[in-house]
Amino acid sequence: MIPFLHIGSFAIPTFGLMVACAMIAAYFVLRADLARRGIASKDSGEAEALISFPCVAGFVGAKLYHLLESPAEFFADPLHLLFSPYGFAWFGGLFAGFATFAFVAWRITRHNGAIGRPLSLLAIFDAGSPAAALGYGIGRIGCLLSGDGDYGIPTSLPWGMRFPNGLVPTVERVHPTPIYEFIAACAIAWWLWKLGAPDAAAAANIKPASQHTDTTASTRRPGEILAAYLVLTGVARFLVEFIRLNPRTFLGMSNAQTAAAFSVIAGGSLWMWVRRKP
């Protein structure tokens, strides 16, 4: 594995590099989805705001959640652990990023409403779902390259991998769970993108983003794509946790597995609520 790329005297963490790639890929997917739905033109800057602010908040939330999982260890050496490039928790990043995305999206809907362009908050979440799935998958490749301990339990399967030079080294052949998650995330992103595609009749009548008042040319109801994202990503993470090394805390499940279960429940509930709306 390659935890760092050395360019002269500079050391670039491969995890951070892949997270940056994930942000860029998510930005282009989100920008394209906002444009095809008629929500925002590609040069509006709204995609930049919906990616940059939640990503920064996600980093902060992931770091804080990880530190507060072991408060005694944190308070023993707070400055070192706070500014360490290691130690991030998916659970904290998920909630901080989600909350910030919701706030930015809400501000966008308020702005659009003030200028006479009604916009559903759920429509923005729908547009962000394929981007979030793809970005997550690409970020997991950073975990693979750095060997940060996100791999799975020992295995004798031919594609098992060793991480002798990883940040959390192991010489045993283990499940390369970041690769599993990358494949699942790409498949989910592709499927969500297809689900949100505008139908031919609606797309033929859609107006430019600066003129239209409808939120999408898709026949899907606002919120359906978000619901599918919550269910599919929750199921994928729940299943992969069975072969991960994370400690079990609640009903025999890891923290991430518990969050994944809530994600599936929330997605299923949202789907039923959206489908029942007149």
Which residue, 264, 21, 263, 260, is CA-closest to 135?
21
What pLDDT does 90 receive? 66
Q: Cα-flanking dihedrals φ and ψ of residue 12, to 5°?
A: -105, 115
Q: Mean pLDDT throughout 42-59?
A: 87
Q: What is the pLDDT of residue 209?
A: 46
Instruction: Give the integer Cα–Cα distance in Å for 255 and 173.
Output: 25
pLDDT at 271: 95
Is 256 a residue whose pLDDT tops 90?
A: no
Note the pLDDT of residue 204. 45
Interaxial angle between packed helices 224-240 and 255-276, expressed in degrees from 0 to 180 and rounded to the nearest 10: 160
Which has the closest alpha carbon to 18: 263, 185, 193?
A: 185
pLDDT at 196 over 70: yes
pLDDT recorded at residue 211: 44
Predicted pLDDT of residue 85: 62
Higher pLDDT, 242 or 75: 242
**Residues in CB range of 69: below 8 A, 6 or more apart:** 89
Side chain identity at 65, as an amino acid letter?
Y
Mean pLDDT of 248-268: 87
CB atoms near residue 239 (< 10 Å) = 13
Cα gap 69→170, rounded to integer Å: 24
What ranges do the domains of the chain cover? 4-276
Q: Is 141 helix (H, G, I), strand (E, B) or coil?
A: helix
| DSSP string over 197-262 | PPPHHHHHHPPPTTT---S-SSSSPTTHHHHHHHHHHHHHHHHHGGGB-PPP-BTTB-HHHHHHHH
Rounded CA gap, 109 and 39, in Å?
10
Q: Are 33 and 193 in contact (CB under 8 A)?
A: yes
Q: List Cβ neighbours of 162 (8 Å cut-off, separation of 6 or more).
A: 170, 171, 172, 173, 174
Is the pLDDT at 61 greater than 90? The verdict is: no
Quickly state the pLDDT bin for 141 (edges 50, 70, 90).
very high
Residue 207 above 80 pLDDT? no
Tens digit of pLDDT for each residue in 144-171? 998 888 899 999 999 999 999 888 899 9
Residue that wins the pLDDT comparison between 175 and 202: 175
CA–CA distance, 193 with 267 (Å, rounded to integer): 17
pLDDT at residue number 193 = 95
Cβ neighbour number for residue 10 with a 10 Å cutoff: 8
Give the confidence band of 213 by pLDDT, cuts at 50, 70, 90. Answer: very low
- 1 in Cβ contact with 145 (< 8 Å): yes
pLDDT at 199 over 70: no
- Look at residue 195 in the predicted model and tell me its pLDDT: 92
Please write the tens of the pLDDT for every residue from 67-122: 776 777 767 777 777 776 666 776 677 788 889 999 999 988 888 777 777 888 99
pLDDT at 42: 84
46-69 and 121-146 are packed helices; what angle lies between their axes, rounded to 10 degrees? 50
For residue 25, the model assigns a pLDDT of: 95
Size of the chain in residues: 278
Measured distance CA(130)–CA(232) in Å, rounded: 11
Q: State mean pLDDT over 257-274.
A: 93
**In the chain, what percentage of residues exceed pLDDT 90?**
44
* Angle, vertex CA 268, rays to CA 263 and CA 274, nearest 5: 120
